[in-house]
Structure 1
């Protein structure tokens, strides 16, 4: 099938190696690229359809289309990630090689993402962090600084680190009195910080006070004005294996108060112990009613 290039528009920041999006010859949302040699990943799947042909200039034209429009959100995240991969690379052959490496990895991730879903505890935890971003961080620090401060998805010990302080966010059921810490390093710092507790209860989409992970994602995305910041936000979410999908509207929550507990020298925590090189993966629970003296307004 001959690929009609006039149905595609070149994406910004793809100067040395062009990435184009549009619709293929039968109207499916797709990605179009020109490659220096015949692509090796030409086997279509249930979710992604590949079409390719050799051009008059000797290059190979490749389109990657989604089998069904319901996968468009996942596809858009794939495209944004591929743009981020080639952005800033001036050598076209190097950019092409980086694109191919990333795309091969993304093929598998795409198929995984359209069929899988985060489990309930991860949905609640991520929703709590996005709620904290939109309801507290944005007002106090601004959108750009707040999103840059969100370092948990990058593997940092603290969820948010900004200026000389930090916030470790835990989301718990309204009826629960304990929170779980995954390691003894989550609350250890030379700087004063805050254990931040967000309480929730399960609800339904019919409750006007409820929200869900997908709605929180779009609420934040609609406030982001910079494309580069949106790409970074999406990349952090992909590190957590979240890609926007309608299935995340199934779990709805009502969030209640945000409580802050000042983590100072007197705050109960497990210190760095003598055998820290031998004893690993220390986990423990904190009983919140016994932490009232550390509760503060921020």
Structure 2
């Protein structure tokens, strides 16, 4: 799209004046931009061929009509959400660039539809982008245990390296030569915990494995002691900075979880931690292990009643956490 046309179009949008502008009369596919009678930004193609109707988003109304005056078809994009004006104009400029590379009306229409599809695919947010309430509660529990309970008794450098939950490890924290810790975050009135696979409570003979059950209830903003995930992340940032540990390790884990800490929904999601229990997965601990399953059976999930796990409860001091700082290699100094 030429700069003079784009500048005139933006001026019409700003003034909310009805106006139409031919983008480039030399194109094989006619393209028109402007504003409709309500002052909304619009962009359309006019062709003798019947175009397909592309999908875009709820912010843009897509319509196809046939003109009675000459039988030509109009494919019209109308922006309904003013806050996306800049993005809409960029989309239309992209369409113009693609159409200008074609040499027939049919090719131009194909380029128009392809351009819209490219943008729709690019900007479509994955359904798993935002964590569910229960997934957020789980992340809250991991952060609260790791960076509010294990630290400072265990160095934050050790804890960050051991935090493997975001990478789909069998246990949330795996300390080399130390304990394995699986965190389960539930409501304070929960009577059971969910085990996601036969590997989650599986350990080698020389390993010590613990289940940490965190009680964290939904809370109002003003509830004393209530915290949010962003607040825990801010605290973790400060701990990492004070210890001279690269914050890129935290960023890497949040990226694996596809967690956007700037999303306002998490700032309004408060949890009140009310208690924590440590359970040692001893030999007699009730669980399903891989060796118990017939060939071809895997990814078995099951629940455990907390009342039946009381005999395995232990103190925090029995975890056997490493306390010495990891040695800093010469290329990190």
CA distance in 2 between partners of 1:208 and 1:110 (Å): 39
Counterpart of 1:205? 221
Residue 173 in structure 1 maps to residue 191 in structure 2: no
CA distance in 2 between partners of 1:193 and 1:275 (Å): 21
Counterpart of 1:241? 258
So what's the TM-score if we normalise by structure 1? Answer: 0.60
Residue 215 in structure 1 maps to residue 228 in structure 2: no
Counterpart of 2:275? 257
> Does the CA-based 8 Å contact 2:129-2:259 persist in structure 1?
no
Shift of 1:167: 0.4
CA distance in 2 between partners of 1:115 and 1:269 (Å): 30
CA distance in 2 between partners of 1:113 and 1:278 (Å): 32
> Does the CA-based 8 Å contact 2:194-2:302 persist in structure 1?
yes
Judged with a 3 Å threshold, the aligned counterparts in structure 2 of structure 1 residues 221 and 114 are, in CA distance, closer, same or farther, namely: farther
RMSD: 2.8
CA distance in 2 between partners of 1:274 and 1:220 (Å): 40
CA distance in 2 between partners of 1:149 and 1:169 (Å): 13
Counterpart of 1:283? 301
CA distance in 1 between partners of 2:219 and 2:152 (Å): 26
Shift of 1:155: 2.2
Deviates further, 271-280 or 187-196: 271-280
Shift of 1:148: 0.5
Judged with a 3 Å threshold, the aligned counterparts in structure 2 of structure 1 residues 285 and 220 are, in CA distance, closer, same or farther, namely: same
Shift of 1:115: 10
Report the 3-state secondary structure (helix = DSSP H, G, I; strand = E; otherwise coil) of the residue aligned with 2:291: coil
Matched ranges for 1:261-272 at <5 A? 261-272=279-290
Counterpart of 1:62? none
So what's the TM-score if we normalise by structure 2? Answer: 0.54
Shift of 1:274: 5.5
- In the alignment, structure 2 segments of 5+ residues that lack a partner are 4-82, 85-120, 317-333
Q: How many residue pairs align between the two structures?
A: 197
Report the 3-state secondary structure (helix = DSSP H, G, I; strand = E; otherwise coil) of the residue aligned with 2:158: helix
CA distance in 2 between partners of 1:263 and 1:183 (Å): 15
> Does the CA-based 8 Å contact 1:152-1:160 persist in structure 2?
yes
Judged with a 3 Å threshold, the aligned counterparts in structure 2 of structure 1 residues 115 and 276 are, in CA distance, closer, same or farther, namely: closer
Counterpart of 2:210? 194
- In the alignment, structure 1 segments of 5+ residues that lack a partner are 2-66, 69-107
CA distance in 1 between partners of 2:213 and 2:187 (Å): 10
CA distance in 2 between partners of 1:109 and 1:161 (Å): 37
Judged with a 3 Å threshold, the aligned counterparts in structure 2 of structure 1 residues 111 and 134 are, in CA distance, closer, same or farther, namely: farther
> Does the CA-based 8 Å contact 2:226-2:271 persist in structure 1?
yes
Matched ranges for 1:98-113 at <5 A? 112=125
